Amino acid sequence: MAFFYEFFAGGGMVREALGPTWNCLLSNDFCQKKADAYIANWGDAELVVEDISKLKIPVAFPRADLAWASFPCQDLSLAGNGAGLSGEKSSAFWGFVKVMKRLKRRGDQPRLICVENVVGTLTSGDGKDFSLIVDALTSLGYLVGAVVIDSVHFVPQSRPRLFIVAASSEIELPPEITSGGPSAAWHPASILRAYNSLHEKQRDRWVWWNLSEPNQPVPRLIDVVECDPIGVKWHEPDYTSKLMQFMDSNNRRKVMGAQASGKLNVGGVYIRTRNGVPRAEVRFDGIAGCLRTPSGGSSRQTLLFVQGETIRSRLLSPREAARLMGLPDSYKLPERYNDAYHLAGDGVVVPVVQHLSRQVFEPIILANLADHNLQEVA
């Protein structure tokens, strides 16, 4: 059995991904609404609802194999305020570092750390914020590497995210999970630029993680939509007509192409404001746009159902949002629409975490911890 901490746990999507062969020692989140969702699915035995800067981990716990931290992205996002790691939300990263330092002092630091956030982390503050994260982890005694994984390889949602994986320098890294240089699949130009901007001492502690590419079939957007959705209603025809009016000629041509096929086509729509004018952008490639936490209403994703002359629209349902995050239908969602959508839009995609675990975490643990009962993982 492997042990983990889940910081900024939300509804426990990392716990869902790691599965029963991983034992959660502690989960932590500051938001009570997310904590309520966590409790509904996992109970409250391991959950501590507290500001991470005030969090204390009991000495009685066994040493964790993994500490996961999906800290707030608002100040790092390309659509955010640019405050970076000094911002009100994203500065919570330093609370996580404080906890890791405390564990190191008592000899209990986790063997692995995974820090997850938006890809904008690589360029925030002209790269300074990424450098600060790497420096914080290497100063704790870790080797550090990063990959960008787009959930589109696993679920019908375009959602690229940055995963910074750190391994204790005291443990052995199986040779098959590292490489001598970057991979086109997991190390885009943004990572290469961020790596090249690091100080020499930071680059000396860098690891190029080597993951296999997924080969399982990926469902399409039409495969995850509900026939009789719960929690949302179909828009009135006037609203759907207005939605079409918000589209430019390029997006209207996409709708016309969907109509011409004669088949049922489902597209994802976002309404964005350009120069004070609302614009609707639609895609019919079988992939939903990236889920975002709802703010005001403009960031809620709309679905457009097109079949011949019939065009209908409605918001994405909570269950559909959960499916786009790879959550099973057995996962219990909050009753209020905004709470459920926020929980999904603020979470991590389950099969992405599973892929990281199988490709990196579990091989490291199996190579180093003969006393762990990980036959089921193997």
What is the pLDDT at residue 109? 95
Distances (CA, A) of 337 to 74, 87, 221, 228, 293: 21, 28, 20, 16, 11
Q: Where in the chain is the domain with CATH 3.40.50.150?
A: 2-214+348-368
How does residue 74 score in pLDDT terms, banded at 50, 70 and 90? confident
How does residue 297 score in pLDDT terms, banded at 50, 70 and 90? very low
HSE (side-chain half, CA atoms, 13 Å) at 9: 34
What is the pLDDT at residue 371? 46
CATH assignment of 2-214+348-368, among 1.10.1060.10, 3.30.750.24, 3.20.20.70, 3.40.50.150: 3.40.50.150
Taking the C-alpha atoms of residue 131 and residue 126, their distance in angstroms, rounded to an integer, is: 10
| Angle at the Cα of 20 from the Cα atoms of 15 and 25, rounded to 5 degrees | 55
Instruction: Tell me the pLDDT tens digit for each residue of 13-48.
Output: 999 999 999 999 999 999 999 999 999 999 999 999
Instruction: Tell me the pLDDT tens digit for each residue of 333-370.
Output: 999 999 999 999 999 999 999 999 999 999 999 998 65
How does residue 83 score in pLDDT terms, banded at 50, 70 and 90? confident
Taking the C-alpha atoms of residue 160 and residue 119, their distance in angstroms, rounded to an integer, is: 7
What is the pLDDT at residue 369? 66
Would strands 142-150 and 208-209 be described as parallel, antiparallel, or unpaired?
unpaired
Helix (H) or strand (E) holding 29: strand 22-29
Is the predicted pLDDT of residue 97 greater than 80, yes or no? Answer: yes
Is the predicted pLDDT of residue 61 greater than 90, yes or no? Answer: no
Contact by Cβ (8 Å): 299, 278: no
Taking the C-alpha atoms of residue 32 and residue 40, their distance in angstroms, rounded to an integer, is: 12
Is the predicted pLDDT of residue 377 greater than 70, yes or no? Answer: no
Instruction: Tell me the two tokens of residue 18.
Output: 């790691």
